[in-house]
Amino acid sequence: MFDQFLFMDYIRIIVLIIFSVRITITDFKFKKIYNNDLLRMSTVGFILFLVGFNFDLLPSLVTNFILALGFGIIFWKIGIWSAGDGKLFAVCSMYLPYKMYLPFFSSQVIVLNVFILAFLFWLVPMIFKTKRHEKIDSFRLSFSPKNIINMFLVLFGVFYFIWRGIYLLGVGLYSGSFLISLAIAIIAFTVLQKMFSSKVTYILLILAILRPFFDPYFASFETLITLGLTVFGLLFAGALGNLSMYISYSEKRLSDICVGDIPIGVMIKGQNKIAEIGFFIENKLGNKDKILKFGFNETDIFKAKKIKNLDGFIIKKTISFAPLFFVATFITIFIGTDVLLYLASLVYDGWFYD
């Protein structure tokens, strides 16, 4: 019997492959993801979704896309992705198989797979291309007593009330709601930290004290184990994020500077690296905001070569997330979950069913 939904899933995979080749090439070659490509990809994806359309899936499609766009905006604003990367991630979520729209929040699986792939991609350079004191400093900064206390309070208080609110709204207890609640809690903590600075710990403490009045299982073994592992996992991820900063730049002489290079430091002959790059750019070249956001243009490079004693710049490495998005999307399509859960299920089945 002809399965129209399965047939359209295969068509969408083929179309996704075509767009992935096009966008990955332009991302590598020009360091850009063009809006026209994203518009075509989203239009085709939406049209393909409408073929053999089931109106029951519309809320899931819209919710999934909005959530993916929200993830994209968040990671763009905190500087992990570019604006183009954020939009591409949202568009990729439209190419999931029909069956994956039945549960809400399928896009969170792609997020997990993207960062799992990124971690595996950067793991080797982080181990072998960073110095011992850089590793120690990165972990010491992340696992400071203040960070441990704040993260514990965030998860025990803020996270619980957000997660409970999502449950009461009828979203349900899915793995997706856990991740969404976690993301919202961390964002809320970041906002509170900027607003109240050193007093944020007291605010977190108040919410944590309130939890026992709403959660009779707050001190259960399962709750405490989950809490401890999540705190450790987030702090460990933060340490790796700190460590990745040491491999995210390269030193370039003036003769090697290219259009689009974004400076994060300068090298002066006979001196150490200057940390205040913004002041130097504004004073010597002008257009500080434009250069720090979009990189040098030909005029900027011409002016820089005339600056006395300037040896070069410390350039931010451009990371192409586009191929990671596409690979993560394909993995999500074919295994239906994130990589870690899939591997864990294989190990579990091997232990208990062989």
Alpha carbon distance 229, 233 (integer Å): 6
| One domain, residues 178 and 273 | no
Alpha carbon distance 171, 104 (integer Å): 8
Asked whether residue 89 is domain-assigned, the answer is yes
| One domain, residues 235 and 344 | no
pLDDT per residue as tens digits for the range 276-328: 677 787 777 877 778 877 788 888 888 888 888 787 888 877 677 788 888 88
Q: pTM to 2 decimals?
A: 0.64
3-state helix, strand and coil shares in percent for the chain, rounded to the nearest 5: 75, 5, 20
Name residues of the chain where pLDDT drops below 70.
Answer: 1-5, 52-58, 77-80, 98-108, 170-177, 179, 270-276, 318, 336-354
| One domain, residues 228 and 308 | no
- pLDDT given for residue 17 in this prediction: 92
- pLDDT given for residue 272 in this prediction: 54
Of 259, 157, 264, the residue nearest 202 (C-alpha): 157
Asked whether residue 342 is domain-assigned, the answer is yes
| One domain, residues 137 and 229 | yes
- Print the domain residue range for 328: 4-102+320-353
Asked whether residue 153 is domain-assigned, the answer is yes
Asked whether residue 17 is domain-assigned, the answer is yes
- Would you say 309 and 270 are in contact if contact means Cβ atoms under 8 Å apart? yes
Q: Which long-range contacts (CB under 8 A, 24 or more apart) does 243-247 make?
A: 243/126, 243/130, 243/134, 243/135, 243/138, 243/139, 244/122, 244/126, 246/126, 246/129, 246/130, 246/131, 246/134, 246/138, 247/122, 247/125, 247/126, 247/129, 247/130, 247/317
Alpha carbon distance 215, 192 (integer Å): 24
Asked whether residue 61 is domain-assigned, the answer is yes
Asked whether residue 111 is domain-assigned, the answer is no
- pLDDT given for residue 143 in this prediction: 93
- pLDDT given for residue 54 in this prediction: 61
| One domain, residues 276 and 220 | no
Domain boundary residue, one of 246, 276, 297: 246
Give how many domains the chain has, as a whole number. Answer: 3
**Geometric angle at alpha carbon 198, from 242 and 230, rounded to 5°:** 50
Domain boundary residue, one of 220, 246, 272: 246
Q: Cα–chain-centroid distance for residue 66?
A: 16
Domain boundary residue, one of 246, 262, 278: 246
| One domain, residues 300 and 339 | no
- pLDDT given for residue 237 in this prediction: 82
197: left (phi over 0), alpha (psi -120 to 50) or beta: left
- pLDDT given for residue 346 in this prediction: 63
pLDDT per residue as tens digits for the range 218-248: 888 888 898 898 899 889 888 887 787 777 7
